[in-house]
């Protein structure tokens, strides 16, 4: 029997360990209520996966964490500071510390890979174009994408490569937190494996705190320390992957079983582990260049 639905597994729940604290949040678009009394904590150093039905509001929620969408009610605190109270300089700091991988990659098609990766550095730092290019090359190495792609335009890249550029853009700022929205959506099984391995590697090497919104159960269960399921406007089930996998709660069971069926179908279609992935080597043990933590700001 799984624990009560509201259980929050907080091994270290001291105030300093909470990166995002979401309290009683509500959000609706017209009559469409997405969130109501939603509570969630994101803890320093963890990888938290968010799952839930399509259209339930996962992307909107992730955007709220990054202060890209306003709340109707409740509050979101980032390191103890209410987003609603942040002035422009605090918001700039938030956007320097929190990397974002958008659901559809959201690359600027009129900009090169280098300009895409360096966008936030250009906006938020005084780095020269040369320094930004150097950083972009290091980030390409980190996401296992060939350096020669640096002057390409996104439209010429495959889906897997675009995802990697989106990842490289998120890590270019040396973030403390990375918010991933469906980082493996639309990829074949081999690329899903590669990207999931990359998320784990970034977590291990850079010690970032990660929130991963995903439909893909392999990614959710493979990379996370905790999983939160958005169900009927709130995070109704929050637990470790092990416990959630064996949950007997109806909505959890149904969601996981359906998602696992889809996963099996996809594997049958493509063949497990087939192909060599795109844009990088066939292996997902990518070479990682450790990036020093940014100085405390």
151: its two tokens? 């002057």
Which residues from 252-281 bind ligand ATP, rule CB under 6 A? none
Contact 213, 219 (CB under 8 A): no
- Residues in contact with ligand ATP, counted by CB under 6 A, come to a total of 12
The interface partner of residue 57, options being Mg ion, ligand ATP, none and the CB cut-off 5 to 8 Å by kind, is: ligand ATP
Nearest approach, Cβ of residue 58 and ligand ATP (Å)? 4
Q: Which residue is it, tokens 């909107």?
A: 60
Task: Name which of ligand ATP, Mg ion, none residue 34 binds, using a CB cut-off of 5 to 8 Å depending on partner kind.
Answer: ligand ATP
Q: For residues 279 and 276, give the distance between their C-alpha atoms in angstroms, rounded to a whole number.
A: 9
CB of 55 to ligand ATP, least distance (A): 4
For the CB of residue 289, give the shortest distance to ligand ATP in the complex, in Å. 32
The CA-based angle 72-74-75, given to 5 degrees, is 110
Q: Rule CB under 6 A: is residue 59 a binding residue for ligand ATP?
A: yes
> Two tokens at 172?
């270019």
How many angstroms separate the CA atoms of 217 and 196, rounded? 11
Between 103 and 127, CB nearer to Mg ion: 103
Supply the minimum distance, in Å, between the C-beta of residue 220 and ligand ATP. 13
From 252, 192, 265, 258, select the one nearest 222 (Cα to Cα). Answer: 192
Per-residue binding letters, 100-129, with ligand ATP (x by CB under 6 A): ---x--------------------------
Strands 226-231 and 234-239: antiparallel
Summarize as ranges the residues that interact with ligand ATP (CB under 6 A).
Answer: 29, 32, 34, 52, 54-60, 103
């Amino acid at each position: 029997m799984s624990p009560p639905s509201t259980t929050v597994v907080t091994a270290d729940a001291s105030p300093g360990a909470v990166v995002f604290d979401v309290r009683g949040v509500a959000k609706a678009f017209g009559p469409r209520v997405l969130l109501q009394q939603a509570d969630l904590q994101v803890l320093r150093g963890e990888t938290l996966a968010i799952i839930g039905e399509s259209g339930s509001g996962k992307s909107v929620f992730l955007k709220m964490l990054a202060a890209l969408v306003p709340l109707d009610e409740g509050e979101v605190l980032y390191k103890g500071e209410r987003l609603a109270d942040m002035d422009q300089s605090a918001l700039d700091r938030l956007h320097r510390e929190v990397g974002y991988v958008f659901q559809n990659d959201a690359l600027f098609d009129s900009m090169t890979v280098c300009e895409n990766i360096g966008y936030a550095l250009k906006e938020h730092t005084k780095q020269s174009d040369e320094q930004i290019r150097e950083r972009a090359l290091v980030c390409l190495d980190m996401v296992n994408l060939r350096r020669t792609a640096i002057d390409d335009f996104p439209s010429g890249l495959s889906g897997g490569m675009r995802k990697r550029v989106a990842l490289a853009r998120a890590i270019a700022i040396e973030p403390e937190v990375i918010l991933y929205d469906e980082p493996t959506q639309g990829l074949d099984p081999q690329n899903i494996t590669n990207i999931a391995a990359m998320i784990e590697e970034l977590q291990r090497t850079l010690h970032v705190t990660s929130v991963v919104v995903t439909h893909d159960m392999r990614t959710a269960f493979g990379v996370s320390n905790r999983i939160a399921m958005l169900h009927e406007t709130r995070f109704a089930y929050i637990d470790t992957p092990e416990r959630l996998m064996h949950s007997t709660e109806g909505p959890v069971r149904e969601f996981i079983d359906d998602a696992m069926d889809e996963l099996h179908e996809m594997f049958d279609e493509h063949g497990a582990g087939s192909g060599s992935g795109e844009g990088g080597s066939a292996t997902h043990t990518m070479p990682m260049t450790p990036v020093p933590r940014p100085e405390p700001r």
